[in-house]
Each structure stands twice: as C-alpha cells, then as structure tokens.
Amino acid sequence: MARIETRFRYFYIDSLEALFVFAVMAVLAGIIFGELRQRFIELPALLALVPPLLNTGGNIIATFSSRLATLLNAGKIETSLSGISSKEVFLNIVAAFIQSLIMAIVLGFAVHFILTLFGRPSLGLLQNTAIAVFALLLLTFSLSSIMALIVILGAKFGLDPDTVAGPFATGIVDLSAIVFLYVAAGLLTG
Amino acid sequence: MNENRKIERLFSVKDILKNSLPVLITVAIIGAVAGFALESFEEVLAANPFIFLLIPPVIGLGGSLGGIIDSHLGTALDFEIVKMKIDDPVIVVNIAGGFLSSITVFALLGIILHFFSLFLGTPSPGLFEVFFTTFITGVLLSVVTIVLAIFSAFIGEYLGETADDFALPIVTTLIDLIGILILFYISSIF
C-alpha cells in the first residue's frame, strides 16, 4: 500500500510538473493564436488546417521523441553529445522528414476534400497542400533537432525522458505550428 | 518478438514508416474532421475572440495527458512491468494521478488566461466564465482522455505494435476533435 502511495505521489507530481510546463507553453500558444487571429478570421478556411497540422506535427515529433526515449531507456543511445550525433538519432530524423512530407500532402488533400464535401469554402487543393507542406517541413526541420537535444541531454540532468517526450514535444509543436502556418499562409496566399 | 529486433525497429526508417504511416493517415483524416469542426465555428470565434486563446491549451492539455499516460504505459508494457488488467496498481496510479494533475492544471488555466487577457488586445468574458469554461471542459476531457489512453495502449500492445508508434497518435487526434466539441459546447453555456 505504501509502495503504491509513493508511486501515486511520484506519478501525480511528475505528471503535474510535466503538464504545468506544457501549460505554460500552451498558454503562450493561445496568446500567439489570439494575436494572429485576424488572418484566421479573414481566411476561415485556414482554421481547418490548425488542428490537423498541430496534431500531425505533434504526433510526428512526439513519436520521434518517444522512440528516442525508449532507445535511451534501453541503453542504445548515450546521454552525451555523441549520443545526439549517433546513427539511431540521424535515421529517426530522416524518418520524421519523410513522414512530414507524405502527411502534409495527405492532410492538404483531406482538409480540402472534407470542407468541399460539407459545402464549406476551401483554400483550394493546391494552396491547401502547399501551405501544409511548407509549414510541416519547417516545423520538422527545426523541432526534430531541438527535441533530440532536449530528450538526450535532459536525461543527463535527471529529466524523465518519457515525460519530456510527451508534453515538451507537443508543447513546442503547438507553440510554433501556428506561427509556421501563419507564415506559410502569408507567403502563399499573398 | 525478440527484444533486440524490437529495439532495432525504433531506428529503421523502413520499419518506422511501415508502422506509422497507416496510423498517421488515419490521424490526418480524423484531424481534418477536427479542422472542419473548428472552421464551422468561425462565426463564434469572430464574435468571441477569447476562445482563440483557449483552443491550443485545451486541446493540447488533453493530448499531453494522453501522451504522459501512453508513454508511461507504453514503456511499462514494453518492459513487462504492468499486466493488461484494469486493476493493476500501475494502471490505478496512472488514472488517479493523471486525472488529479490534469484538473489541477485546468483549474489554473482559466485564471491565468483571464489575467493575461487583461494585458492583451483580446477581451475576456470575465474571470468566473473563463474559469468554469476551462475547468468543466478539463474535467470532461480528462475522463475521455484517460479512457482512450489506456484503451489504445492495450490495443497497441495486443496488436503487437510498439505502443510508441500506435497508441499516441490515435489518442491525441481523437482528443483534438472531442476537445474542440466540448470547448465550444461548454463555452456556449457560459
């Protein structure tokens, strides 16, 4: 019983700490979304790209970080700078890039198709896809390397790689995805 | 599966793509439905811009909680320190700790966002309204998230996929969709 209680305290505090750090980033993401809202109000079809882009980017970066966490727990990656430049990390970055390219095309098509199906205005197949590709590749390029650093070096300083892989990964993605989407839409819709 | 082979799959580009793409494509389609849901609330958003601030934290926190539980259970299942039973102590601790930590953060979220909005150009509907909207959304979303996270971690393990590649993406995407619907429903009450 005492053992479970200790585990509960560990889990509650561990989870609270992770969610709290995430909440700080998510509040910033909310503020950024609020500040950039004018473009989304003027181009409501752009709103339809927000959830899939946030979660596809979040999934790619979180599963990327989660695989690194498992490799770290299994002792396959060292918690040092040489761990970051290892073959295991490089191959995971390559996989994340290919995932991003394929998924951006899929979600550009999916969003256009669903909006059109329900009679809502879409940005058009080409523009939707171009914005998704530009935003998602920019996101994967910057965040895969940042997350590799945080997961691997964080473990060196005692941070639980499993917790870091979840909340940190999705927090950073939420924070930057809206900005990347705003930039991509600005460049591609004029 | 042989333990070494299981670890090797975590840095093989071909295996990562083979395991993740069917899940990611499913996720992109559910994400596009979430996008359609958000776009269909464009008039509510234009009339109540404060909801822009709530969207990333509300859907992100649900996804994060799912991520923490999935990540813990995924590692525990991979290393066989948890039984696939709902009364296993590790599962009980995940449910109780996850729920309490989540509603603690949701309780603070509304208060923090309300005070931030005082310094920003996004008017708040009031402390009471924002607090109850985020708190009740948080309670409902946490329950849904925990059920989905545990269920999908078990399914992932049962189907023989590594939980890292399977469980996390499905949970976070469904939470995005459900989170948007709960948020707009609850905010219409307050």
User: What percent of chain B lies above the pLDDT cut of 90?
Assistant: 27
A97 pLDDT above the threshold of 90: yes
| Alpha-carbon distances of A95 from B21, B109, B162, rounded to whole Å | 11, 35, 16
Instruction: Please report how the helices B89-119 and B50-78 are oriented relative to each other, as an axis angle in degrees rounded to 10.
Output: 160
- B10 contacts chain A (CB < 8 A): yes
- Hey, are the CB atoms on B52 and A87 less than 8 Å from each other? no
Q: Mean of the per-residue pLDDT values for chain B?
A: 84
The pLDDT of residue B163 is 52
Both structure tokens of B187:
């905010």
CB pairs under 8 A between A and B: 267
DSSP code at position B124: -
The candidate with the shortest Cα–Cα distance to A174, out of A72, A71, A6, A51, is A51
Q: Which of A4, A30, A163 is opposite residue B54, by nearest beta carbon?
A: A30
- Hey, are the CB atoms on A26 and B57 less than 8 Å from each other? yes
ipTM of the predicted structure? 0.83
The pLDDT of residue B164 is 52
Interface of A with B in 61-100 (CB under 8 A): 62-63, 66-67, 69-71, 73-74, 76, 87-88, 91-92, 94-95, 98-99
Interface of A with B in 10-49 (CB under 8 A): 11-12, 14-16, 18-20, 22-23, 26-27, 29-31, 33-35, 37, 40-41, 44-45, 47-49
pLDDT tens-digit readout, A20-76: 878 888 889 999 999 899 999 999 889 999 999 988 898 899 889 888 988 888 888
pLDDT tens-digit readout, B62-83: 877 887 787 777 777 777 777 7
- Hey, are the CB atoms on A22 and B61 less than 8 Å from each other? yes
A131 pLDDT above the threshold of 60: yes
The pLDDT of residue B165 is 59
